[in-house]
Amino acid sequence: MAVAAIDVRYSGPMNAVFDEENKLAKWLEVEAALALAQGALGIIPKEAASEIARKANTKAVKLARVKQIEAQIDHDLMAMVKALSEQCGKEGRFVHYGATSYDVEDTATALIFRDAIAQIEGRMKALKGALLKQALRHKATVCMGRTHGQHAVPMTYGMKFALWASEIQRNFERLEAAKERILVGKMSGAVGTMATFGPKAFEIQKSAMDRLGLKPALVTTQVIQRDRHAEVLFVLALTAASLEKMAKEIRNLQRTEIMEVAEPFGKKQVGSSTMPHKRNPHKSERICSLARNLRMDAQVALENIALEHERDLTNSANERVIFPESFILLDYMLGQMEFIISGLEFFPENIKRNLEMSRGLVMAERLMIALTGKGMGRQEAHELLREASIKAFKERRHLRDELSGDKAVRQYLSKVELEKIFDEKTYIGKAIEIVENAVKRLS
């Protein structure tokens, strides 16, 4: 029976990348690459290398048998070595020849990370595509921009989506860059000296890594250094934080008092067990919640960097948790966010209501610029509008009405000019071009 939520509630295609069967398959793949490299270089008999490579798969080496051996010897990697050796008969004596456990484990982890990163990058591309579609669709949907939780000046919804798409692209590029440092393997022995591999140690390592499509690590101890893994988990946490930002914005925009957009809500979906009317943004809230897990996993990965001497085992147990958890949760979160963005519901009447809610106060900046352009001093214009805005707010009057009789304003602006200034839809600057440029660059 499953206990962890990543195995049930938040599971998906990524789970297969990190399950025990695939982990065993990757260990065996590394053992095969080592044997073939040694066979090609004359370190072990070619027939032994061929037999090891032929049997180094989960059809021959069963997970159940590995578990059975592990229960006896309490060492999971060595249990695999013994199980593979059993299948290889007399050639089994050359299995794992010269290698230490983490030659296999860390190299196999790179193979797993390669598959996991490919899955994440696919999700990122899909989400970016959904964001760019919404950016184009709503490039001219004028809405209220907010700073400090207050109405600022108008903008467009297209800008929100373009902004988020550009952030996803940056995270994609960070992950691509991290592949340069994480997709490495090693065959360097107990403390990294390669002593057990003899005079052809460098050739063995390169040949094995070439077969696996990895680069040899330049220098190692018994393990590949954990700054590499921490970098990847940090990028995953960064991506999760970006998703949290999107989700938090959607949650706020779905508040009853604002209600400009709402995440998709199924026909039979239930918002509350006691309040039938509730339409909670629970998918967005879930993304915000899970982002915290990824930040904590990144913190643990940072702690793993400072191992003692040429290694200790303090990284091992937690990596069995943080590696699959970070990838599985982010994979789930990206899929959920793509669903939310693609099905986001808009409420135009509320968007318009909120644009007009301040009774023209949000156009004070535009007025200040206009008055300055006509000859009034910038600071004088700022002070005039600050005082007028305070008065209009207290008296619940439209700022236009407050200013229409002001002699200083009428000296510089006609009634028609003043009226035009208060059209929110004409004060979005280059918003549409910004969106179009972003879509073009990011597509």
Catalytic positions: 148, 272
Give CA–CA dist 232/109, Å, rounded: 12
In three-state secondary structure terms, 294 is: helix
45, 17, 38: which is closest to 103 by C-alpha? 38
Count of alpha carbons within 13 angstroms of residue 388, beta-carbon side = 27
Residue pair 326/294 in contact by the 8 Å Cβ criterion:
yes
Pairing of strands 345-346, 261-262: antiparallel
Structure tokens at 16: 């297969």
Give 66-117 as a DSSP string: HHHHHHHHS-HHHHHHHHHHHHTGGGGGGTTTT--HHHHHHHHHHHHHHHHH
Q: Tell me the β-bridge partners of 215.
A: 184
Give CA–CA dist 231/229, Å, rounded: 5
Give CA–CA dist 320/250, Å, rounded: 34
What phi and psi, each to the nearest 5 degrees, are found at residue 41? -95, 5
Structure tokens at 304: 């793993």
Which H or E element spans position 150? strand 150-156
Residue pair 285/250 in contact by the 8 Å Cβ criterion:
no
In three-state secondary structure terms, 188 is: coil
Q: Tell me the β-bridge partners of 155.
A: 143
Residue pair 84/99 in contact by the 8 Å Cβ criterion:
no
Give CA–CA dist 134/198, Å, rounded: 60
Positive or negative, the Cα torsion across 310, 315, 320, 323?
negative
Name the residue with tokens 């925009």. 253
